[in-house]
Structure 1
Amino acid sequence: MKFLYLTAGIALVLSTIFDYKKTIKALKVAWKKFSKILPGYIKILIIISIVLLISEDTIVYYLGGNSQWLGLLSGLILGSVTMMPGFISYPLAGILVEKGVSYMVVAAFVTTLMMVGVATYPVEKEYYGHKATIIRNVASFIIAAIIAIAMGLFYGEVL
């Protein structure tokens, strides 16, 4: 990470040396875009912080029920409304499988976690528009359900 900061700093200095006015203009444009996006990203960071407070036992309780189909629905919904980075969600998926949650339910949870963005809706809406965001999220939800059921069929958990 330090390498990236150093490289960016050197590039900024070189840009300033070669054309000071263009560099200042570019920095102003960058700041304007950054300040426009910042409120949405702060909301997302707050939501992520709250989600990370949920313990794995709570998640297992809601996903590892007796009914496969209720667990599938819970996994799809819970994954859709939460947001976690991959480096947290994949180890969590391993923990869920170790605790007895079926592969189908874990696939539903992790797939919707990565593909469906209820938490990112405000930011996504700004860039893609309301209609495109809704279409993308609904399509992702349906695809995640299909993937989860296919995993259940593959591992013999369904039928």
Structure 2
Amino acid sequence: METYIFYGLALIGLGVSFWKDKEKTKTALKKSWKSLENILPQLLTMIFLISVLLAYLNTSLISRLIGGESGWVGVIIAAVVGSITMIPPFVAFPTASMLLKAGAGFMQIGAFVSTLTMVGIVTMPVEMKYFGKKMTLYRNILAFVFSFAVAFLIQGVTG
């Protein structure tokens, strides 16, 4: 139901924008379409890869590795996988949703998404070049530790 409300509000906003300035609205729609065209290949590739992965990994394996019953070991596994995986944030949340539906735990997914978006093992060489080795290591270590704080908070909220 909320989805329809948000779509309706978006259409109303688009109508108001079009009424106020047709040219700016057309320009904004063209820019947003270009952005979608740029993001879509990455998004579809990641969704395809996650779908294939979920097809081969059965829900019992996912539950055993990063399910709610896996506890802090599952949080560590999810945090490590999230740290070494390079997925853009706009793909991370649909991926998290798919993993939750496949049996992953909330606490584990919290750590996974936190490390996925904040820890960059793959991008460390580039980051070191611009920010220095010390700053890069501090930032990544603090982000990794923060992911456990997120998991702990999620455990408190979800029980």
Match for residue 99 of structure 1? 102
Percent identical across equivalent pairs? 35
Q: Structure 1 unaligned runs (5+)?
A: 5-48
Q: Distance in 1 between matches of 2:103 and 2:142?
A: 29
Q: How does 1:111-126 map to 2 (within 5 A)?
A: 111-126=114-129
Q: Structure 2 unaligned runs (5+)?
A: 1-27, 32-44
More helix by share: 2
Q: Distance in 2 between matches of 1:64 and 1:125?
A: 34
Q: CA deviation at 1:83?
A: 1.1
Q: CA deviation at 1:99?
A: 1.5
TM-score under structure 2 length normalisation: 0.61
Residue by residue over 1:25-60, the C-alpha shift from the partner in whole angstroms, topping out at 9 and shown as x without a partner, is xxxxxxxxxxxxxxxxxxxxxxxx89x846135493
Larger radius of gyration: 1
Match of 1:60 among 35, 52, 62: 62
* 1:76 corresponds to 2:85: no
Q: Distance in 1 between matches of 2:62 and 2:128?
A: 32
Residue by residue over 1:80-100, the C-alpha shift from the partner in whole angstroms, topping out at 9 and shown as x without a partner, is 111101221110111111122
Number of matched pairs: 111
Match for residue 155 of structure 2? 152
Question: Contact (CA 8 Å) 2:68, 2:106: kept in 1 or not?
Answer: no
Residue by residue over 1:62-113, the C-alpha shift from the partner in whole angstroms, topping out at 9 and shown as x without a partner, is 4237421111110111111111012211101111111221110000001100
Q: Distance in 1 between matches of 2:49 and 2:98?
A: 16
TM-score under structure 1 length normalisation: 0.61
Describe the SS at the equivalent of 2:120: coil
Q: Distance in 1 between matches of 2:74 and 2:29?
A: 43
Match for residue 90 of structure 1? 93
Describe the SS at the equivalent of 1:124: helix
Describe the SS at the equivalent of 1:109: helix
